[in-house]
């Protein structure tokens, strides 16, 4: 679904709860960018703890669902898919990060982890696009 075609309730979108949730999702996206920068500086950076700390699954889902209340039912069908993908991407980032102790991350594993983070960043961008359409 194209965000330009979204039916957004401007009053709900302007509400304090939704605006706070938008800020939270923007901070999640900033955290993804920080992880990518950290990996660029040091490809062996363990981002697992950061993922668990910054991306409390229940809280992320709650924030995304709060924003989703500003959309009509048809729009929510598309944004629900984005929410599921974002949550799956968070799980995949955590799994892709895992390394055996004392074993350096290979170039291939680094590419996979960075790819998962880029996909997560894009998921947040795609979702947030509905709030500015």
Q: What would the pLDDT profile of 8-48 be if each residue is shown by its tens digit?
A: 999 999 999 999 999 999 999 999 999 999 999 999 999 98
Decide if pLDDT at 133 tops 70. no
**Sorting pLDDT into bands at 50, 70 and 90, what band is 58?**
very high
Question: In a 3-state reduction of DSSP, which class is residue 28?
Answer: helix
Report how far apart the first and last C-alpha atoms of the chain are (Å, whole number): 12
pLDDT tens digits, 62-103: 999 999 999 999 999 999 999 999 999 999 999 999 888 888
Q: Domain 8-132: state its class.
A: mainly alpha
Cα atoms in the 13 Å half-sphere on the side-chain side of 37: 6
With beta carbons less than 8 A apart as the criterion, state whether 89 and 97 touch.
no
Tokens for 124, please give them: 């947040």
How many angstroms separate the CA atoms of 100 and 123, rounded? 29
Q: What pLDDT does residue 94 have? A: 92
Q: Is the pLDDT of residue 118 over 80?
A: yes
């Amino acid at each position: 679904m194209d965000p330009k075609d979204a039916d957004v309730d401007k009053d709900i979108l302007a509400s304090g709860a939704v605006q706070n949730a938008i800020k939270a999702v923007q901070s999640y996206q900033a955290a993804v960018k920080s992880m990518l920068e950290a990996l660029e500086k040091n490809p062996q950076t363990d981002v697992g703890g950061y993922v668990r700390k910054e991306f409390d699954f229940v809280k992320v889902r709650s924030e995304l669902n709060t924003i989703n209340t500003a959309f009509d039912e048809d729009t929510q069908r598309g944004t629900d898919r984005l929410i599921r993908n974002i949550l799956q991407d968070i799980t995949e980032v955590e799994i892709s990060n895992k390394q055996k102790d004392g074993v350096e991350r290979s170039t291939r594993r680094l590419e996979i982890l960075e790819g998962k983070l880029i996909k997560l960043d894009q998921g947040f961008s795609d979702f947030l696009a509905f709030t500015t359409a």
